[in-house]
Chain A
């Protein structure tokens, strides 16, 4: 897993930031879009990069930080390669989504207060409703929906995902 982590760090190419800043002509008005593109690239907003953006746009780092923390879409902590969104809307909630969430976290070995696995492969989030109430309780892995989940199905799903991860590693 260590090699995976290292290669992730390497994939965060600094030069991309400059291309993004260039694309939006270093305009403060485009700050939100700039941050969105940076997050798409890095999967989160690293502190050094935000400071760099502030320098390049000639505004204070506090201002950039203020914007980055205002919107729920931005994350200042590293996010995993895959995002698992467990639905906790009304329908899923009554159908036992908290058990599903617990199972997901346990299978990934997440500790209290942790939402991302240490190998930066998975991040677990809860969302209010993904519109799949008929399949409750449901969850999404990236763009794919999995319905009528229970603890056993969660375990199978995670095992499969981890297996794919290792296969990808081997390649």
Chain B
């Protein structure tokens, strides 16, 4: 090594490493093939430096945290000294003092970073007592289970929710020995703004946040010979399930997964990429109609359930813009319960529909009342990749050695377009492959739209369809989406089509996927590559060329956006309140003959000036001298966000209330009610 290079080098455990823009000692050590343990470091989140596991000894400086110490030329770093080991062991003992020690019955047994690090350090005793107080588990959602007794306060979930989604469901609360990580007011996840995406859970280094398991239900179904169990496999899981069996991320294991599910006892195995093709056709046709009429643009994709629920709570003004096409999971659920049951001649209640998903929010989606008919859900059981891996392990299947099997007929595989739904930009590319041919009438030669690929958080593209230029945007992570929407609302950006995925990288980064690795960005990159490879290897690469799609339209659906298709493959959305709470009482009527008025001060109405209405209302009651007979309160949402500001008089909601209109309503409705009451 020459002198100039040596000036830009550090020494890690005796090995000279040339610096090349590494942000911290962790990254430098990785170059020396040393994986320093951490709980709170994630390359895609801010550096927190709280867990102290990554302490290393830097000559002349003592113990330094490797995650938050930038390397400096000439540094001599030792990662395994007696001081380092003593410090790490001590830290782990402290963690274990506050952590439930029931590892053998924990969801994360053998899949837990705390357990792994304790094992690697050879901790064989915890010298401190256990936490006396047992805190209740939160099982309130369909997607996640939170067990505060297993929390080690690393704050990974806090930062994941804040930085990736900008929702901030969790924060540190209380202080000292009472410190907790919990949602606002210690509420349950179902009572706050959680979108069930599980980004917190894949980053949790312990069993404090885990996927809510439906494995027991799945076993009951497959082991019941009276039932016919039909599975659908989402695109993203085929390039990730292998990771749990020692295969590299991105390796395509579709055939092996089919074989494993058959061994477990699933009667039929289908491909969600098939219903993704169906989504492409339905969603693209919907888009053309909107383009022609120039209405309800931009069209937002609606396959991501976390994004849908976020939009329902926060963007009432865009609900009309969401594609009404159901997600691939729900389309397949509908196909199974309405078409396959006829083909197989099995009554709906004897047919169990199971979906294998990368996603925790899909569990919530399957329980939306729109997708349950006469008490029978279109999708009965949603298994995440993690749960599927558990079933394969329970069945003692040697996954690596399995002979691949094809999907079942008549609704065989999906096209390559359907497969890339699992990666950010994939839905857009799949729709473009369809749209180009449909709008220009020419065959698409180059099917790969490279411009919409890649991991940038926002991608933009303009595509020429003959005379019409179509502007698309692709965004993943709700934090980025929020910024994009802000710009769009201000008129600074305009698009015709917007693809939104809640998770970084799209579904390949889903909250139900195999747990996050130290090199997560690389894992995501390789999973994405895996899906693009699967697309390249597909015989059929466009949804419209999929013979099974043609078959289904001929046999059942007639044509895209037909009445049958609208009924079985489309849905609608609702405004939802963000937070469940009561009315804040401001003025209390003393008289029994009274009128109750509540003014909505939820975000949407607040921004439209509902606070001024509240003041005006109080003034009006004074002006007419009826303060004693009119109760006034503030409420957080009347669920009519699009038409705000809203007020409720007794049980009746009035929308679009301006100051002038308020006076009119007060005089006509409130005063007349009071007169009527008096009689």
Q: Known: A47-B185, A52-B601. Is A66-B587 also a contact (CB below 8 A)? A: no
Q: Which residue of B lies closest to A58 (CB)?
A: B603
Q: Evaluate contact between B170 and A62: CB separation under 8 angstroms.
A: yes
B24 to chain A, nearest CB (A): 27
Q: Are A70 and B581 in contact (CB under 8 A)?
A: no
Indicate if B192 sits at the interface (CB-CB under 8 A).
yes
Report how far A37 CA is from B128 CA in the complex, Å.
42
Q: Which of B172-180, B322-330, B403-411, B533-541 contacts A (4 or more CB under 8 A)?
A: B172-180
- Kindly state the separation between the CA atoms of A49 and B588 in the bound complex, as whole angstroms: 18
Q: Is A155 an interface residue when CB atoms closer than 8 A count as contact?
A: no
Of all chain A residues, the one with the shortest Cβ separation from B175 is: A70
Question: How many interface residues does A have (CB within 8 Å)?
Answer: 30
User: CB distance A70 to B173 under 8 Å?
Assistant: yes
- Mark contacts of A44-72 with chain B using CB atoms, 8 A cut-off: 1 yes-contact digit, 0 otherwise: 00111111101110011111111001111
A18 sits at the interface (CB 8 A): yes
Count of B residues near A, CB < 8 Å?
34
Contacts of A69 in B (CB 8 A): 173-175
- Given known A63-B168, A65-B171, A65-B173, contact A10–B588 (CB-CB < 8 A): yes
- With A52-B601, A62-B168, A70-B175 already in contact, the answer to whether A14 and B579 are too (CB < 8 A) is no
How far apart sit A6 and B589, CA to CA, in the bound complex (Å)?
Answer: 11
CA distance A64 to B634 in the complex (A): 20
B-side contacts of A15, CB under 8 Å? 586, 614-615, 618
CA distance A66 to B185 in the complex (A): 9
In the complex with contacts A51-B184, A55-B603, A55-B606, A61-B579 CB distance below 8 A: yes
A13 at interface by CB-CB < 8 Å: yes
Judge whether A170 is part of the interface by a CB distance below 8 angstroms.
no
Q: Which residue of B172, B192, B585 contacts A9 across the interface (Cβ within 8 Å)?
A: B585
A-B residue pairs in contact (CB < 8 Å), sample of 12: A14-B586, A47-B185, A50-B184, A51-B579, A54-B184, A60-B168, A60-B169, A62-B170, A63-B168, A65-B184, A69-B174, A72-B175
A-B pairs, 10 with minimum CB distance: A60-B168, A61-B184, A66-B171, A62-B171, A62-B184, A65-B184, A69-B173, A14-B586, A48-B584, A69-B174
Listed in ascending order, the chain B residues whose CB lies under 8 Å from chain A are 162, 167-175, 182-185, 192-193, 579, 581-582, 584-588, 601-603, 606, 611, 614-615, 618, 634, 636
Interface residues of A (CB under 8 A from B): 6, 9-10, 13-15, 18, 46-52, 54-56, 59-66, 69-72, 76
Apart from A50-B185, A51-B184, A61-B185, 19 more pairs, CB < 8 Å:
A14-B614, A15-B614, A15-B615, A46-B584, A47-B185, A48-B582, A48-B584, A51-B579, A51-B636, A52-B584, A52-B601, A52-B634, A55-B602, A55-B603, A62-B170, A62-B182, A62-B183, A62-B192, A66-B173
